[in-house]
Amino acid sequence: MLVDLGSRGNQAGYKEGLGVVGFLYFDLCFLCFCFSSRFFQVSVFLSECCWVVMSQAGLLGKSSAGQMEGFVQPRRKIKISYFDNSDLIAGYSKTVIGRCFNPQMQDMKSLLLMMPRIWQVERRVAGADLGFGKFQFDFEEEADIVEVLKMEPFHFDFWMVSLVRWTPVVDPAYPSALKFWIRVSDVPIQFWVEPTFRDIGSDMGVV
C-alpha cells in the first residue's frame, strides 16, 4: 500500500496523513506480535511505512522549498593556534606525494602495490592512501627518490598520475604538475650548447 500524502489538499492533507500514520503504527504493533508467523507481511509493512513517512516529509517540505532554493552553505574558516612545525616538515623530507587525474578509474590499492614494484624499491618505501585520489610514498633513501623522479611522467590504469616531492602546499589541486621528457632533433651542430636547448624547452613550458 503506497500512501501519497503529497497529492492531498494542503489544508486537510496533514491531518489525514497523521491519521494514516497512526493506523499504520497500530498495524505495526499487531504485526510485530505475529512476527514469528508473518515475517513476510512485516517486511512489506515496514517498506510501506517508509513510503508514508517520506511522502509526508515531501508534503511538509513543499512550503520551504522556495526558501531553500539558491541557498549556499557558507564555508567555515577555522583559525588554528601557531606552533613550530619545522620538525614536522623536516620529517617529510623523503616523501613524495601524488594525485590521480581520474580517481574513479584508477584503483588506489593496486597503485600503492604496483608502483614500488615498477620502481624496484618494494622494501624501501611505504605508501599511504590520503583520500580524494591522493597518495604518498615515504622513502628510506634520498637516492631512490632521485631515480624514481627521473622516470616521469607516470600513469596508472591508462590515466596520468602527478608525482612530486612533498612541499608544505595548501591547495586542493596539489599536486597537478606533469613533467615530460622531449627529444629535440635537427638542431645545427654549431648551436649544440646547453643554453640553446634550454631556450627551446622554455618556449614549450617550464624547464
Query: Do the domain assignments include residue 118?
Result: yes
Beta pairing class for 125-131 and 154-156: unpaired
Q: Coil, helix or strand for 79?
A: coil
Write down the pTM of the prediction: 0.57
User: Closest Cα partner for 154 from 97, 204, 201, 95?
Assistant: 97
Of 47-51, 82-86, 141-145, 171-175, which gets the smallest average pLDDT? 47-51
Query: Do the domain assignments include residue 190?
Result: no
Contacts of 164 (CB under 8 A, 6+ apart): 96, 97, 98, 175, 177
Same domain, residue pair 177 and 93: yes
Q: Pseudo-torsion of CA 182, 187, 190, 195, nearest 10°? A: -30
Same domain, residue pair 99 and 156: yes
Query: Do the domain assignments include residue 110?
Result: yes
Same domain, residue pair 162 and 104: yes
Distance CA 27, CA 73 (A): 41
Same domain, residue pair 92 and 149: yes
Same domain, residue pair 46 and 125: no
Distance CA 124, CA 135 (A): 17
Same domain, residue pair 100 and 177: yes
Query: Do the domain assignments include residue 207?
Result: no
Query: Do the domain assignments include residue 101?
Result: yes
What is the strand order of the sheet 159-165 is part of?
125-131, 134-139, 95-100, 159-165, 154-156
Q: Does residue 28 contact residue 45 with C-beta atoms inside 8 Å?
A: yes
Of 56-65, 129-138, 148-157, 170-179, which gets the smallest average pLDDT? 56-65
Same domain, residue pair 48 and 102: no
Query: Do the domain assignments include residue 196?
Result: no
pLDDT in tens, 57-108: 444 455 555 555 667 778 888 888 999 999 999 999 999 999 999 999 999 9
Please state the domain count of the chain.
2
Same domain, residue pair 45 and 120: no
Same domain, residue pair 33 and 110: no
CATH number (domain holding residue 157): 3.30.70.330
Q: Quote the domain boundaries for residue 132.
A: 88-181
Number of H helices, E strands in the chain: 6, 5
pLDDT in tens, 188-203: 999 999 999 889 888 8
Query: Do the domain assignments include residue 66?
Result: no
